[in-house]
C-alpha cells in the first residue's frame, strides 16, 4: 500500500512519510509500518497481516510504481484523484479513484493474470455500485500477438468504442489500443497510440472516432472470399476442435462447403465480439433466413428477437466484455447482412431492412 493515515487522521503517501511517525491503515485502522528500502519503492505494510481484507501485502515493484505513476500524472493534470480509496460498500480499494464530471472511475493496475470470472465479478461489483472501472494492464498482460478472452474482459468503453490501456511503469507511458476489428481469418486488428504526459483517455477529450464508420468503406472481393473458403476447406481436414460444430451442422443439413453462400467465409469487423466459430454463427443466420417465406422482411427488430433465441439455446456465445449491449451484439449480424447483400443473397429495402433475393 502506498498511502496510510497519520495520528492527525491525514492521508500520507509513503514517498512523503517518515520513519519516526506512526501510521495506520485507512481500511482496518491497524498499525502499519513504513518500508523504505534500496530496491522497492517506499510503501506501508501491516504489522499484523491477518486482520485486513482490503489490502494485500507483497505488491510487486511494478505494481507500486505504476500506481504511483498513474496517480501522480492524473494529479498533475489537475484531476480529482485518490490513491487506494477504501470503498466500504464494496470492501474494495481500487488502486486509484478518479472523479471526472461527477463520474467516479476506479482504476485497477493489473500486473498478474487473474481468472476471467474474477475480472467479471469485480467489474460488475463496481458497476452495480455506480463506479466505472478502468483496468490498466501491466507488462506481463500486454497484448502480444492476439487479443485473448481475458483482454476482452479488461476492455473499457470510451464514448462509443472499446479501448484497452496498457501501462509501462518504467517509463510512465500508456499504450492505448483501440479500433478493434477483424479483417481476415487472422488475429483481431487494432490501432495503438502512446501517451506520456496524459495516461488514459481521461484527460484528452478527443475520443477516437466511432469504428462503426468502417462498415461503409468495407467491401470484400469475391476473390478474397474464395481464398477464405479454401482455408476453411483445409480446416475441415485438420479436425480442429473449435470449427467442428460448424462442419457437423453442414453434415446434418446435407450441405457442403461449396453449397452455402460464399459470404459465410468472409470476416466482418465486429465478429471479434463473438466467441463461437465465425462460420457457425453466419451459417446459423443464413439457415434461419433460408427457411423464411419469400416475402419475409429482415429488420433489426426481428434479428434482435432471433438473437435472443440463439443465445437461450446456446447456439451462440459472446466473449465477456463489460457493458456490451444488444446494439453492439447485433453489429456483426448487420455487417453480415451487408455482405449477403453485396453477394446478391439479400436485397436492401432501407436502413437496416432487407428482403431475401428471389434470384438466389
Q: Select the span of 19-27, 79-87, 159-167, 270-278 touching Zn ion (CB under 5 A).
A: 19-27
**How many CA atoms does the CB half-sphere of 160 hold within 13 Å?**
8
Q: Select the span of 55-63, 195-203, 275-283, 293-301 touching Zn ion (CB under 5 A).
A: 55-63
Q: Closest CB to Zn ion among 55 and 156?
A: 55
Distance CA 52, CA 268 (A): 49
Q: Closest CB to Zn ion among 91 and 140?
A: 91
**How many chain residues bind Zn ion (CB under 5 A)?**
6
- CB under 8 Å to 139, separation ≥6 — which residues? 62, 111, 168, 169
Q: Closest CB to Zn ion among 26 and 174?
A: 26
Kindly state whether residue 52 participates in binding Zn ion, applying the rule CB under 5 A: yes
Q: Closest CB to Zn ion among 53 and 197?
A: 53
11-13: strand order across its sheet: 11-13, 3-6, 23-24, 31-35, 43-46
Q: Select the span of 46-54, 119-127, 283-291, 298-306 touching Zn ion (CB under 5 A).
A: 46-54
Pick from 5, 27, 164, 289 the residue near Zn ion by CB under 5 A.
27
Minimum distance between the CB of residue 25 and Zn ion, rounded to whole angstroms? 3
Q: Select the span of 50-58, 92-100, 150-158, 181-189 touching Zn ion (CB under 5 A).
A: 50-58
Kindly state whether residue 12 participates in binding Zn ion, applying the rule CB under 5 A: no
Give me the helices (H) in 77-182, please: 116-128, 149-153
Distance CA 42, CA 27 (A): 19
Pick from 3, 25, 262, 273 the residue near Zn ion by CB under 5 A.
25
Pick from 13, 15, 28, 307 the residue near Zn ion by CB under 5 A.
28
Q: Closest CB to Zn ion among 3 and 303?
A: 3
- Over the range 68-107, which residues count as b (16 or more CB within 10 Å of their CB) and which as e? bbbbbbbeebebebbbbbbbeebebbbbbbbeeeeebbbb
Site map for Zn ion, 229-268, x if CB under 5 A? ----------------------------------------
Contact 279, 246 (CB under 8 A): yes
DSSP state of 222: H
Q: Closest CB to Zn ion among 54 and 100?
A: 54
Kindly state whether residue 1 participates in binding Zn ion, applying the rule CB under 5 A: no
Identify the CA nearest to 326 among candidates 348, 301, 290: 301
Cross-strand pairs, 156:
163
Q: Select the span of 28-36, 62-70, 222-230, 327-335 touching Zn ion (CB under 5 A).
A: 28-36
C-alpha cell at 145: 500477438
- CB under 8 Å to 35, separation ≥6 — which residues? 14, 42, 43, 44, 45
Q: For the chain, how are helix, strand and coil distributed in percent, rounded to 5?
A: 35, 25, 40
The site for Zn ion (CB under 5 A) is made up of: 25, 27-28, 30, 52, 55
Amino acid at each position: 500500500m502506498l498511502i496510510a493515515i497519520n495520528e492527525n487522521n491525514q492521508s500520507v503517501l509513503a514517498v512523503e512519510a517518515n520513519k519516526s511517525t506512526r501510521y495506520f491503515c485507512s481500511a482496518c485502522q491497524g498499525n502499519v509500518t513504513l518500508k523504505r528500502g534500496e530496491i522497492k519503492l517506499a510503501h506501508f505494510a501491516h504489522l499484523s497481516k491477518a486482520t485486513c481484507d482490503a489490502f494485500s501485502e507483497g505488491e510487486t515493484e511494478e505494481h507500486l510504481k505504476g500506481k504511483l505513476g498513474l496517480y501522480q500524472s492524473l494529479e498533475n493534470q489537475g484531476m480529482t484523484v485518490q490513491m487506494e480509496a477504501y470503498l466500504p460498500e464494496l470492501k474494495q480499494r481500487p488502486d486509484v479513484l478518479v472523479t471526472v464530471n461527477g463520474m467516479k472511475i476506479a482504476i485497477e493496475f493489473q500486473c498478474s493474470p487473474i481468472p476471467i470470472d474474477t475480472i467479471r465479478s469485480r467489474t460488475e461489483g463496481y458497476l452495480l455500485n455506480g463506479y466505472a472501472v478502468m483496468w490498466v494492464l501491466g507488462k506481463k498482460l500486454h497484448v502480444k500477438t492476439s487479443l485473448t478472452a481475458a483482454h476482452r474482459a479488461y476492455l473499457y468503453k470510451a464514448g462509443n468504442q472499446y479501448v484497452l490501456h496498457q501501462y509501462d511503469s518504467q517509463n510512465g507511458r500508456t499504450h492505448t489500443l483501440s479500433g478493434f476489428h477483424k479483417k481476415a481469418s487472422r488475429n483481431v486488428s487494432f490501432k495503438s497510440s502512446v501517451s506520456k504526459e496524459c495516461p488514459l483517455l481521461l484527460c484528452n477529450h478527443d475520443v477516437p472516432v466511432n469504428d462503426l464508420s468502417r462498415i461503409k468503406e468495407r467491401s470484400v472481393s469475391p476473390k478474397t472470399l474464395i481464398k477464405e473458403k479454401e482455408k476453411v476447406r483445409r480446416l475441415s481436414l485438420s479436425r480442429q476442435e473449435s470449427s467442428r460444430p460448424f462442419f457437423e451442422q453442414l453434415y446434418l443439413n446435407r450441405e457442403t462447403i461449396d453449397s452455402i453462400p460464399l459470404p459465410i467465409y468472409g470476416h466482418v469487423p465486429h465478429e471479434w465480439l463473438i466467441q463461437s466459430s465465425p462460420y457457425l454463427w453466419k451459417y446459423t443466420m443464413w439457415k434461419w433466413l433460408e427457411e423464411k417465406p419469400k416475402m419475409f422482411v429482415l429488420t433489426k427488430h426481428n434479428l434482435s428477437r432471433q438473437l435472443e433465441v440463439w443465445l437461450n439455446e446456446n447456439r451462440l456465445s459472446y466473449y465477456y466484455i463489460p457493458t456490451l449491449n444488444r446494439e453492439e451484439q447485433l453489429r456483426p449480424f448487420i455487417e453480415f447482412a451487408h455482405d449477403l447483400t453485396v453477394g446478391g443473397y439479400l436485397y436492401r429495402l432501407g436502413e437496416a431492412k432487407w428482403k431475401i433475393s428471389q434470384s438466389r
